[in-house]
Amino acid sequence: MHFHRVDLLMCTLRLHGTLVALAAAMFLGAGSLMASDPDRVDERVRELLGRMTVAEKIGQMTQVNGAGGSIPDELAEAVKTGRIGSILNEVDVDTVNRLQRLAVEESPNGIPLLMGRDVIHGFKTVLPIPLGQAATWNPDLVRRGARVAALEAASAGVNWSFAPMIDVTRDPRWGRIAESFGEDPLLHSVFGVAMIEGFQGEHLSEHGSIAACAKHFAGYGASESGRDYNTTNIPENELRNVYLPPFKASVDAGVATIMASFSDLDGVPASANAFLFRQILREEWGFEGFVVSDWASIEQLSIHGLTANDRESAHAAVTAGVNMEMATSTYADHLPGLLQAGEVDLELIDEMVAPILRTKLEMGLFENPYTDPESFPAMSNPDHLAVARELAEQSIVLLKNDDRVLPLDREKLTSLAVIGPLADDGYEQLGTWIFDGDETISQTPLQALREFLGESVSIRHLRGLETTRSRDTAEFEKAVSAATESDAVLVFVGEESILSGEAHSRADIGLPGAQLDLLRRLGETGKPVITVIMAGRPLTLGETADATDALLFAWHPGTMAGPAITNVLFGVEAPSGKLPVTFPRMVGQVPIYYAHKNTGKPATPETFRHIDDIPARMPQTSSGFVSSHLDAGYTPLYPFGFGLSYTEFEYSDIRLSDERVPMGESITVTATVQNVGEVEAEEVVQLYVRDPAANVTRPVRELKGFERVRLRPGERREVSFELTAADLAFYGRDMRLTTEPGSFHVWVGGDSNADLRATFTLSE
Ligand code: NOJ
């Protein structure tokens, strides 16, 4: 669709706001004033459907891109005639209100618009990328972050966020891993629900609530070779056990909408996949919200090779149960003809439109279609920044700390070299998907260090490399001199924002450009080198770790990167982030994840032979016939759940409420964790389970619970987890969710290698 820019007369919306809302309510009839009242919603939906023309119904199924602060004639006309149900990417509040006014006052049935936007990790205040948020293992904080994002977005007129992305992914090459919560189904479920609760609040109609959208249904995270939009082949059992549970949890938590994936799932692209939308989402899970396609993903069905043309694509998507089309117009162009030809019937159209109307009613949009920014807290106010800082702080993972070089002691420092392309770049610290983020309010590490250290420490700052990809080493000498003249060296390297996110996959996930060379040169000075990495994905960090004394992984931390990192560097807060995804040694190990199957020939330290240890002309059995890579071995560089602290935690005394548990009862697993170091710190206590013999093979470990605890030096705490039969259930060969009796191992510890184990038996 092509729109021409026009200037419309601006009305003073705030003055008109109340009057117009009242008029809209009157239009709905006195009995409809409480249209979001649950008992009345279905009745209202029926009433509306009874009045709407076919064109208006198809209109509700159509979402178009906004024009960015203006309303071209064609768009205005389409809204006025009820041919559009939703607009995405319009965040100019006056334009949003004008569009809503056209819909509410002028369209035949006064149906307000859904205004969608990718509010992925914050709005103006940018929170850490979702992968970083997952590293906090703190759902309450993630919920608060999503609320901040919802308030800021809602004040700009956005009422629908295309988040959370809950695609389990085990491929760090995939650029969109940055938007995900990592490799684990439970983390995705917990954080997905936390975000949904933050966006949607207690009720969708609450002031400041916006509709959430769990995406991408389903399997997108398994894109072959991590190349974006690539094909996925996921056996149904794997789909049900790994990729679908976070979506089920989101549906149970009341997520308003679901987005279809771009990807081809076992030969049927998601946007035409009736198994996904009809069988699983609606029939098995009873989802009552609506499904939106991804951008042009219905039109792309013919590019995939599933359909011959747009008409067939519209038919395939609507019969599969995709309620709304994003960005393209195959529905608008072809549903009328398909109806006329009897290939689609009106009942199907009503079935597709009803949940869209229901969602709008539940959101209270009919009563409150307009946005008054003044009724919201200011963007990026101190409370919002505090949440952003806390999230960033708790997301930082300490990967290495030789000789306890960290935390730095400000009393003992007189000079500091601050080097690297990411030390003072307010834009690059924000990460992917920051359409509305404001880099001018970013607090960079350099700024925060200067503020924290004041005049007492002299800071020598050099970028060293222009960007993270640069290979020009011209500034290295200066950087080395600055390091030589300083007490310690802080290096900020990693990936620029553009290196991760949609369509930004990488085949080599090492530190880009000449950054490793820079680190090595700085290391030659003999000064303590502390490296802070900002990146959108796990990187292969073996050589980086070797070249540095301490290594902090900060993801893309967002607006408050500077204060968060500074607090951790100087021990104001001990690092407490834990990896939500495995870090491989080499990219060739991918996919490598903790919840793998055991295989028939698992490698062990005793059986594995490294390539360097195999003498020439050794016989075929040299590798020990175990499952491993000769060069990379069989373990990752850093395991899932891993993260060091400035203290140490000791785990002991694992015990069970009972060693034999009948199926209907729960079992409590308890362990003691003690802070045996000298600083107060937080630890994420993790519970893993293994079902060693089952109808289908089960992972060697699965995360089943976690809890963040804060412990003073010397303090011990008993941490308990309750397990029920439901927690032990899985989809077997018959694709039914079952819990099998038998023995189960449980581990409690600080990462997925935890060795404190107990065993119980679940009886019939
Ligand atoms: C395409 C992305 O896949 C999806 O996640 C996003 O919400 C839409 N574009 C809208 O921007």
pLDDT digits (tens, 9 = 90+) for 505-515: 999 999 999 99
The answer, yes or no, to whether residue 550 has pLDDT greater than 50, is: yes
The answer, yes or no, to whether residue 107 has pLDDT greater than 80, is: yes
Q: How many residues are recorded in the chain? A: 764
CB proximity list for 363: less than 8 A, separation 6 or greater:
36, 159, 204, 205, 209, 211, 256
Which two tokens mark 686?
């993790």
Active-site residue among 118, 167, 264, 294? 294
Contact 154, 119 (CB under 8 A): no
19-49 pLDDT, tens digit per residue, is 333 333 333 333 333 445 777 999 999 999 9
Identify the three-state secondary structure at position 649.
Answer: strand
Return d(Cα 412, Cα 415) in angstroms, integer. Answer: 9
Residue carrying structure tokens 């789909």: 239
Cα(41) to centroid(ligand 1), Å:
29
Which two tokens mark 634?
């069989």
The answer, yes or no, to whether residue 241 has pLDDT greater than 90, is: yes
Cα(475) to centroid(ligand 1), Å:
39
User: What pLDDT score was predicted for residue 624?
Assistant: 77
Which two tokens mark 613?
């240890």
Identify the three-state secondary structure at position 450.
Answer: helix
User: What pLDDT score was predicted for residue 38?
Assistant: 73
Helix residue ranges, H only, 276-425: 301-304, 310-320, 330-340, 346-362, 382-395
Stated pTM of the model: 0.95
Contact 494, 536 (CB under 8 A): no
Cis peptide before 218 (omega within 30 of 0): yes
Atom of ligand 1 nearest to the CA of 163: 7
Which two tokens mark 762?
């679940």
Burial class (CB in 10 A: 0-12, 13-18, 19+), 341: exposed
345-377 pLDDT, tens digit per residue, is 999 999 999 999 999 999 999 999 999 999 999
**The one-letter amino acid at 301:** L
Contact 84, 78 (CB under 8 A): yes
Q: Ligand 1 atom 4: the closest Cα is on which residue?
A: 294
User: What pLDDT score was predicted for residue 7?
Assistant: 28
Q: Ligand 1 atom 7: the closest Cα is on which residue?
A: 162
User: What pLDDT score was predicted for residue 265?
Assistant: 98
Cα(294) to centroid(ligand 1), Å:
6
Q: Which of 65, 86, 118 to mutate to test the pocket of ligand 1 (most atoms within 8 A of CB)?
A: 118
Across the range 401-408, mean pLDDT stands at 98
Residue 294 bears catalytic tag: yes
Cα(295) to centroid(ligand 1), Å:
6
User: What pLDDT score was predicted for residue 36?
Assistant: 57
Q: Which of 228, 294, 326 to mutate to test the pocket of ligand 1 (most atoms within 8 A of CB)?
A: 294
The answer, yes or no, to whether residue 735 has pLDDT greater than 80, is: yes
Cis peptide before 72 (omega within 30 of 0): no
pLDDT band at 622 (very low <50, low <70, confident <90, very high): confident
Put the strands of the sheet holding 213-217 in their side by side order. Answer: 213-217, 257-260, 290-292
Return d(Cα 62, Cα 329) in angstroms, integer. Answer: 7
Atom of ligand 1 nearest to the CA of 162: 7
Atom of ligand 1 nearest to the CA of 213: 7
64-102 pLDDT, tens digit per residue, is 999 999 999 999 999 999 999 999 999 999 999 999 999
Strand 681-690 relative to strand 702-711: parallel, antiparallel, unpaired? antiparallel
Cα(87) to centroid(ligand 1), Å:
13
Ligand 1: lining residues by beta carbon, under 6 Å = 118, 162, 215, 262, 294-295, 502
**Torsion, Cα of 237, 243, 247, 252 (10° steps):** 50
Strand 681-690 relative to strand 62-65: parallel, antiparallel, unpaired? unpaired
User: What pLDDT score was predicted for residue 236?
Assistant: 98
Across the range 299-303, mean pLDDT stands at 98
Give 11 or 572, the one with higher predicted confidence: 572
Helix residue ranges, H only, 490-639: 515-523, 542-546, 561-569
Residue 110: name the closest of 40, 59, 155, 63 by CA.
Answer: 59
Return d(Cα 94, Cα 124) in angstroms, integer. Answer: 17
Cα(37) to centroid(ligand 1), Å:
31
201-212 pLDDT, tens digit per residue, is 999 999 999 999
Atom of ligand 1 nearest to the CA of 327: 10
Contact 199, 210 (CB under 8 A): yes
Contact 481, 462 (CB under 8 A): no
Q: Is 383 left (phi over 0), alpha (psi -120 to 50) or beta?
A: alpha
Which two tokens mark 360?
């709008």
Count Cβ atoms below 10 Å from residue 625 Cβ, excluding itself: 11
